Amino acid sequence: MTASIAYGAVEVGTELPARSFPVTRATLVQYAGASGDFNPIHWNEKFAREVGLPDVIAHGMFTMAEAIRVVTDWAGDPGAVVEYGVRFTKPVVVPNDGTGALIEVSGKVGAKLDDNLVRIDLTAMSEGKKVLGMSRAVVRLA
């Protein structure tokens, strides 16, 4: 699959539209059901605090999935993503306050590669802290 964006029309430094993703406790329950990951750090405040966390945290794979949405929305085809990887730097803390947390994601073209491929460098933040490091995707453009 290839994206609908033309490789020749993209330059290094091109910014992707930034997005914000709200995360509530209900979101975490839905994700746990879909993924099968029922680790209590994602739903039990007492347990999360006992293991040294400040509160319940979002699933790492959920955070990754929200971040890559910036790329797939920009590319117009999720199948155009040929590689994606991150390092988890800080957890997304999700308080039980009715508001939850916000994951803010931005991205830009970091490099043009061979064979109509571009590397997208993503920045994912929550509460002013970077939650994903070395977050990069390789996308095949038209």
Residue 118 φ/ψ, nearest 5 degrees: -130, 150
* Domains of the chain by residue range: 7-23+58-140
This prediction has a pTM of 0.94
Bridge-partner residues for 84, per DSSP?
137
Closest CA to 73 of 8, 18, 132: 18
Per-residue pLDDT reduced to its tens digit, 32-82: 999 999 999 999 999 999 999 999 999 999 999 999 999 999 999 999 999
Per-residue pLDDT reduced to its tens digit, 71-90: 999 999 999 999 999 999 99
Per-residue pLDDT reduced to its tens digit, 97-139: 989 999 999 999 999 999 999 999 999 999 999 999 999 999 9
* Domain spanning 7-23+58-140, CATH class: alpha beta
